[in-house]
Amino acid sequence: MNTKEYVAGMKAGMPVCIGYFSVSFGFGAMAIAQGLNIWQAVLISATNLTSAGQFAGLTVITSGATIIEMILTQLVINSRYALMSLALGQRFGPLVGTRKRLISAFFNTDEIFALGMAREGRLTTSFFVGAGTVSVIGWTVGTALGAFAGSLLPQTLQMALSVMLYGMFIAIVIPQAKEEKPMRFAMLLALLFSCLFTWLPLLNRVSAGLAIVICTVASAAICALLFPLEEEVAE
């Protein structure tokens, strides 16, 4: 481990740490509102670093779904990390061994991936793990404080606090949806499918975990057919 690179990674990851803190605070509050205790919420955040996956997983847990549904839900939602890891593997180069790659894989999120790919020059595992370490600290501490605050509040305020998570997701999606038609269409399509699985007599019997998988895959598949990406022309 290169100490200088590790410290540089921690400094670069501080903005991510602050952002993760605010989002995970809401996750902790939501977990308490859904019936989990503080230690369960903290354990989830300490062993998982995937905001969308955790929120979906919380829905699956509280709905009493099966482990198969949990696996499918996480596989679909987090499938993008496989492609991101391939890109990171190329940046690390052939001299980086399997053990370091596995350690780095734990910290591979959208934001930390962006930090690694945007770094000028050679990307080292020490830098990447440094950025990931400080981000995990922000994510876990935020969850702990959110869960603790949620446990002290009455039930009505717990539910109100948990709503801010949905507001954060909307704030992330809406600006991009305004600029890109495929994103806007995918968002509306997913919303439509979600409403169908909530209100239609037969579809509302489908478990929450399976409904998430179906809505995600169906929306992505339809948008891939309607808005295919153009192949880059080789120079």
Going through the chain in order, the beta strands assigned E by DSSP cover: none
| Domain tally, the chain | 2
58 and 121 fall within a common domain:
yes
193 and 82 fall within a common domain:
no
81 and 49 fall within a common domain:
yes
Full residue range of the structural domain in which residue 199 is found = 180-235
Answer yes or no: is 216 within a domain. Answer: yes
Answer yes or no: is 146 within a domain. Answer: yes
Instruction: Name the percent of the chain in helix, strand, coil, to the closest 5.
Output: 80, 0, 20
Environment class of residue 113 by beta-carbon count within 10 Å: exposed (0-12), middle (13-18) or buried (19+)?
buried
Give the tens place of pLDDT for each residue, 40-58.
999 999 988 887 788 888 8
Separation between Cα atoms, residue 129 and residue 99, nearest integer Å:
13
Give pLDDT, residue 143: 92
The residue from 120, 137, 168 where one domain ends is 168
233 and 159 fall within a common domain:
no
Give the tens place of pLDDT for each residue, 88-107.
888 887 778 888 888 888 99
- Look up the pTM and report it: 0.72
Give pLDDT, residue 130: 93
Answer yes or no: is 173 within a domain. Answer: no
88 and 143 fall within a common domain:
yes
202 and 132 fall within a common domain:
no
